[in-house]
Every structure is written in C-alpha cells, then in structure tokens.
C-alpha cells in the first residue's frame, strides 16, 4: 500500500559524517565552500560539524572556526552535533550554530557502552537532564534519535521488544516532564535495516509516540539503503538524513565492523523523490555541483551514483528524433 | 500492497557485463575461476561471455576458450550472448555453451540504430527470423528482452505507449508463429527506471503477455537500482539479472552517457532477498568470496557494498551480552 508523502525533508549530514571519518583533515575554506554549495542546492538543514574531543577527533577541532567561515543563507539551519556537556558548551559559544535540542537513545547496550562508556539505560536516564538543560537554555527540544535501532555489530539484532522498551521509556519521560517532541529518528547506525523492519519499526514509533514525525537516519552499509528508503517513503516517512556524494564511507578508516559506510546518498535520494513526484525543495543540478565538489575535496571517487551519471533533466528534454 | 515472492531467481551477468566493459583483458584462468566461484555460491545461471566481434570487443575474443576452461557444475546453466548470426554460429560451435534462445527488442529507435545500425522496428522484424532459427535448431526460445524499456539517453523517456507497441508486436508475432515465451525482461539499459515506472511497466507486460514471467535487468546508474528492485519484488517480480560486486560499472570506460554503470549488485540483491525472507538458493558467504575474487581480478575497489561490510550471519549469532 503506497502512501507516498508529497513533500520530503532531507537533512544533510555529509560535512560532519564525511569529514569526521577521514583519516586526514581538509582545508577549512573547502569545507565551508561545500556547506555553502549544499545550501545553494536547497538543503534546508545542514549538519556542519561536531563539537567532540579534539584529541579523539582532530578533524573536528576547528568546528567553531568552520562555522565562522560560512556565509549563511537565510532560511537554512546550520546545525552541530555534541554528545556531552563540554561539547554543548563549546557549540553554544558559537553564534553561527543554530541550536537544535536533540536527545540520544541507544537500543544496543553494548554500542552505548562502546561509544560513551555508559550503558543504554544510563544514557536514557541522562536524556532527562538534557531535556531540562535545553529548556532552561531556551533551546527547542526537537528530536530524539534512537541509535542502533535495528541491530548492532556488537550485540546482534535488536529485537522489536527492546526497541519498544526504549520508545516507551522516552514516551514516559516526556509525559513526566510535560514535554513533547516533534520528531523521533530511527538510526540504522551500522546497516542492519531492511524494508520490512523499517515499516514495522516506524509503526512502533507511531504506536508509542502518536503524532510524532518519524525520521530515518539510514546508512548504506550493505547496499540496500535505498530500498529501505523507498519502503519508508511508501510507508509515509517524510524525513531523512542523508550525505552528499555518500560522504562518510571511508575505505581507509579501518572500521572492520562496517561502521565506516556512509549515509544514503543525498542526491540519489533526492533523485528518487523527484522521479516519484515528491517535492524536496532541492535543485538536483546544483546538488550535483556540491557532490562533485565533495569528491574534489576528498580526492577520490565517492560512492554517489547520480553525480557520475548525471540527472535525466536535459536528456528527458531531447525526445524522439524527428 | 506487498506480494513478495517466496523464491527469486537471480541470473549472474558479471562475467560478461563486467569484463566486456573494462579497457583491458584479464587472464582467462582468473575469469574461469570467478565463474566457478559463482556457481559454487548457488547461482543457477551465469552469463559467461558474449560472442561478438573480436575487433570491436577484444576482451571477449577468447569466449570459446573461456567456456572450455570452466569446470561445469551440474544443474548450472552457462550462457552466452550473441547479437548476430555470426556470433550465434560461433557460440553453437562451443559444446560448453548452454544455448538459451533469446529475442532482443528495442523500445528506443535511436538506441537500436546506435547499437545495431538498424531501427527498432527493423530489429523487431528480425526477431521472427531468430525465433524460427532457434526452433529449427532445437534451441528452446526462452526469453525476450526489451532493451531501453524505460528511457534512453539518445531519445529521452520512452513512453508507456511506445513500450506497449513493442510488447503488442511481440505478442502478435508469437501468435502468428504459434509460439509461446516463458519470460520477458524489461531492461533498464541506461538507468531511467524508478519504482513507479517499474510497477506500471511490469503491469504492461502482464497485460500484453498474460501468464509470462516478467524479469528485470536493472542497472544502478543513478543510485536507485535497489529501490527499483524492491518495488519490483513487492510487485511480485521473481526474476532478476544482476552482477557480482556490481561488475560492469567502469570509471575508465569513458561512457560519458552513463552507460558504463553496472547492473545492480548480485550479492546486495541476494542480501535484500534473504533479509526479506525470500529464498534465492544462494549462499551469501560463498557469493562474497566470488565478489572479492572479482575485485582482486579487476584490481580496484568495486561498487558492491555487502562484500566490504560482510553479512549479518555471524553478527546476528552473537546476541546480547550475558
């Protein structure tokens, strides 16, 4: 049963996901130019950088300077990621960061421990503090992410019961706090999703948090990311994270666990939407310009397909020979 | 509405599609080993080579020797492609070729002319001769391909009316000849398909040729090949061509028109099927072995994703920590 949305919102993750995973850093001016090209293409929300430990992620050490270098386009949100209070405080000190209050839940306990030194339940408990902190600071609490919502290489498949427990906990916390949340994202952090799981788990979110807008953060780890996206579109999902040129996959990053695969590719997803009559607000030709810029910056062929083949726009105009 | 088939048949195109497009030739022993690895993985039909002009496609000049070098596995069909009578006669002279009578129709007149020096109608008229030739030779007439069934870079979008005319012509010819055809493939030769077009055009085949089994030959030219495959699976399509490791895409082949993009990737498609509870008869781990062999032969990173990330089989067995 098809319930294709008429409009789909795609948030760009490439500048953070992509440059964070590369073993070397790239000139700040080039990264700023990429963000500007993405905004020119019609991306309305772009995650520019993460405020994380400069020791652990030296590629993001200049996040504040990067934000300062970007010529901002009105109507576009330039967001940042932080995972702890130090990062949050650094981001808050940068006036160019558009603050988006985001909560982070983990469906995999082992993944939460590996990434934060704390289990899933402890991370969930901390989200109440984040909610309160955001409200105290006047930062709108906009979304919760459920990381590893489908499976995890450390823990195996995440059961629907486990995901339900996480979602129920989030719903209960929001009730307790008298808060509501516009968006909940299921993140397929390391590529375990499949179309049926997408549909079933999107339904779980809708059951536990009626009225919430469900987003998907998909990685194309095992080659079926776009099939998952299509299944989601037909299930009425209208909110996706994606990465220009497929940035974020990195053959040199040495993540033998598959976690080095990029998000689904922004322009390929936007093309899927366009060919399906779904509006994204994105101008594909301009987005290809950004994708090719990303490829030049990184200096190797990236995974995006449309950027190498071109759109159908001019070809379609040709028509049959007279 | 989902009508997932319980069993899907995937025919392997990599050895022909892949090595044909590469600018250089690879050792015969390595190509034979790849075909053998594919058969070991459970592929039941493998297109080994094409019998085409050795002047135009020198990479396929040793097709007969290649067939002779392969240790054949019982139950597997080792097929070849030919496009004219000279090629057909060469293929027939090779006892290791499993002859499959295939007809070739073109939805794009310009594409037919560019590839054969003859227009679509003339090519269609010739298929009657092919049918008679196959029958006279005792070669089962098994399938018709409609090339450029969705669109063509020379001619633009192919209308449904045009495709219908091709299909109606095929149906009329079969009636005239008192012949039937088990399979009709729609080939998205240069990457124009999208999920809705797949569904509508599969329906067109079913209308014009009731009872025929519809196959899809998809290329991942613009990054939505797997979304197209998923839409087809949900529409009951149970027959696909695919290419191991995504062989067939070639960044060096200089096809600026996008025609150098490979088929959808066999192991990624098989993974999509497996994760969706669809049997393909393929052992994924063995297929990854073949995909990695293809990558070693070609000597550069290929587009397949699962081959780089690994399957979920062993990860799934881990389960939550005690």
Predicted confidence at residue B314, as pLDDT, reads: 81
Q: What is the CATH superfamily name and number for domain A1-99+261-313?
A: Aldolase class I (3.20.20.70)
Active site (annotated) includes residue B250: yes
Q: Does B248 touch chain A (CB under 8 A)?
A: no
Q: Does A320 touch chain B (CB under 8 A)?
A: yes
Alpha carbon of B300: minimum distance to chain A alpha carbons (Å): 11
Confidence of residue B320 (pLDDT cuts 50, 70, 90): low
Kindly list the domain boundaries of chain A, sorted by start residue: 1-99+261-313, 101-242
CATH of domain B1-99+265-315: 3.20.20.70
Give the residue on A whose Cα is nearest the Cα of B3. A1
Q: Distance (Å, rounded) from C-alpha A194 to C-alpha B251?
A: 29
Contacts of B261 in chain A (CB under 8 A): 305, 308-309
- Mean per-residue pLDDT for B202-220? 97
Exposure string over A143-165, b if 16+ CB within 10 A, otherwise e: bbbbbbbbbbbbbbbbeeebbbb
Predicted confidence at residue A319, as pLDDT, reads: 66
Predicted confidence at residue B259, as pLDDT, reads: 54
Q: Does B295 touch chain A (CB under 8 A)?
A: no
Give the residue on A whose Cα is nearest the Cα of B278. A196
Contacts of A242 in chain B (CB under 8 A): none
- Mean per-residue pLDDT for B10-27? 92
pLDDT in tens, B72-81: 999 999 999 9
B27, with CB counted inside 10 A (0-12, 13-18, 19+), is: exposed
Predicted confidence at residue A318, as pLDDT, reads: 73
Q: Higher-confidence residue: B196 or A260?
A: B196
Confidence of residue B261 (pLDDT cuts 50, 70, 90): confident
Contacts of B308 in chain A (CB under 8 A): 251, 258, 261
Has residue B58 got a pLDDT over 60? yes
Computed over every residue of chain A, the mean pLDDT equals 94
Please report the residues numbered 15 through 44 in chain A whose beta carbons come closer than 8 angstroms to any beta carbon of chain B. Answer: none
The residue with tokens 């995006």 is A304
Predicted confidence at residue B28, as pLDDT, reads: 96
Confidence of residue B20 (pLDDT cuts 50, 70, 90): confident
Predicted confidence at residue A2, as pLDDT, reads: 63
Has residue A256 got a pLDDT over 50? no
Contacts of B110 in chain A (CB under 8 A): 320-321
β-pairing, A45-51 vs A77-82, is: parallel
CB nearest A224 (choices: B155, B272, B303)? B272
Q: Does A61 touch chain B (CB under 8 A)?
A: no
pLDDT in tens, B83-131: 899 999 999 999 999 999 999 999 999 999 998 899 999 999 999 999 9
Q: Higher-confidence residue: A54 or A97?
A: A97
pLDDT in tens, A170-187: 999 999 999 999 999 999
Confidence of residue A261 (pLDDT cuts 50, 70, 90): confident
Has residue A254 got a pLDDT over 60? no
Contacts of A248 in chain B (CB under 8 A): none
- As given in the structure block, the two tokens for residue A251 are 């053959």
**Coil, helix or strand at residue A262:** coil
Residue B250 near residue B21, CB atoms below 8 Å: yes
Confidence of residue A1 (pLDDT cuts 50, 70, 90): very low
Cβ contact, residue pair A230, B321, below 8 Å = no
Predicted confidence at residue B313, as pLDDT, reads: 87
Cβ contact, residue pair A321, B109, below 8 Å = yes
Predicted confidence at residue B256, as pLDDT, reads: 46
How many Cβ atoms are within 10 Å of B29's Cβ, its own excluded?
A: 10
CB nearest A318 (choices: B155, B251, B272)? B155
- Mean per-residue pLDDT for A299-310? 93
Cα→Cα distances B156→A296, A307, B72, Å: 30, 19, 42
pLDDT in tens, A109-158: 999 999 889 999 999 999 999 999 999 999 999 999 999 999 999 999 99
Task: Identify the CA nearest to A260 among candidates A237, A243, A239, A284.
Answer: A243
Q: How many cross-chain Cβ pairs, A to B, lie less than 8 Å apart? A: 149
pLDDT in tens, B141-193: 999 999 999 999 999 999 999 999 999 999 999 999 999 999 999 999 999 99
pLDDT in tens, A117-131: 999 999 999 999 999
Cβ contact, residue pair B271, A222, below 8 Å = yes
- Please provide the DSSP assignment of B248-316 as one string: TB-TTS--TTTTTPPBPBHHHHHHHHHHTT-B-S--HHHHHHHHHHHHHHHTS--S-SHHHH--SHHHH
Cβ contact, residue pair A223, B268, below 8 Å = yes
Predicted confidence at residue B257, as pLDDT, reads: 47
Contacts of B229 in chain A (CB under 8 A): 227
Predicted confidence at residue A20, as pLDDT, reads: 87
Q: Which of B152, B250, B265, B273 is catalytic?
A: B250
Alpha-helical (H) ranges within chain B are 14-21, 28-40, 63-69, 85-92, 109-116, 120-137, 160-177, 195-208, 225-234, 266-275, 284-298, 306-309, 313-318
Confidence of residue A22 (pLDDT cuts 50, 70, 90): confident
CATH class of the domain whose range is A101-242 = alpha beta
Please report the residues numbered 100 through 139 in chain A whose beta carbons come closer than 8 angstroms to any beta carbon of chain B. Answer: 109-110
- Mean per-residue pLDDT for B213-234? 97
**Domains A1-99+261-313 and A101-242 equal at CATH topology level:** yes
**A109-116 vs A120-137: helix axis angle to the nearest 10?**
60
* Residue of B222, B254, B301 to mutate for A, most A C-beta atoms under 10 A: B222
Confidence of residue B319 (pLDDT cuts 50, 70, 90): low
- As given in the structure block, the two tokens for residue B311 are 């399957």
């Amino acid at each position: 049963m098809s319930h294709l949305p008429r409009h789909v919102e795609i948030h760009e993750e490439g500048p953070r996901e992509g440059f964070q995973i590369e073993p070397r850093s790239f000139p700040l001016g080039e990264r700023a130019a990429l963000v500007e090209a993405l905004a020119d293409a019609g991306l309305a929300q772009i995650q520019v950088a993460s405020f994380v430990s400069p020791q652990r992620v030296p590629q993001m050490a200049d996040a504040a300077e990067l934000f300062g270098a970007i010529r901002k386009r009105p109507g576009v949100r330039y967001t940042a990621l932080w995972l702890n209070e130090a990062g949050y405080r650094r981001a808050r000190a940068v006036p160019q960061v558009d603050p988006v209050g985001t909560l982070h839940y983990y469906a995999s306990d082992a993944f939460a421990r590996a990434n934060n030194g704390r289990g899933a339940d402890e991370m969930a408990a901390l989200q109440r503090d984040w909610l309160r902190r955001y409200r105290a600071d006047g930062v709108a609490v906009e979304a919760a992410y459920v990381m590893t919502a489908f499976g995890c290489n450390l823990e195996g498949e995440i059961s629907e019961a486990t995901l339900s427990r996480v979602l129920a906990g989030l719903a209960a916390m929001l009730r307790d706090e008298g808060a509501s949340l516009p968006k909940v994202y299921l993140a397929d952090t390391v590529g375990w999703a499949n179309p049926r799981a997408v549909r079933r788990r999107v339904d779980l979110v809708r059951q536990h948090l009626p009225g919430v807008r469900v987003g998907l953060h998909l990685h194309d780890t095992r080659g079926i990311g776009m099939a998952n996206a299509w299944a989601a579109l037909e299930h009425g999902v209208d909110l996706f994270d994606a990465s220009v040129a497929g940035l974020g996959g990195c053959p040199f990053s040495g993540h033998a666990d598959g976690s080095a695969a990029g998000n689904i590719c922004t322009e390929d997803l936007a093309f899927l939407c366009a060919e399906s009559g779904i509006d994204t607000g994105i101008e594909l030709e301009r987005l290809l310009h950004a994708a090719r810029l990303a490829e030049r910056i990184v200096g190797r062929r990236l995974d995006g397909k449309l950027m190498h083949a071109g759109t159908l726009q001019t070809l379609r105009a040709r028509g049959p020979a007279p």
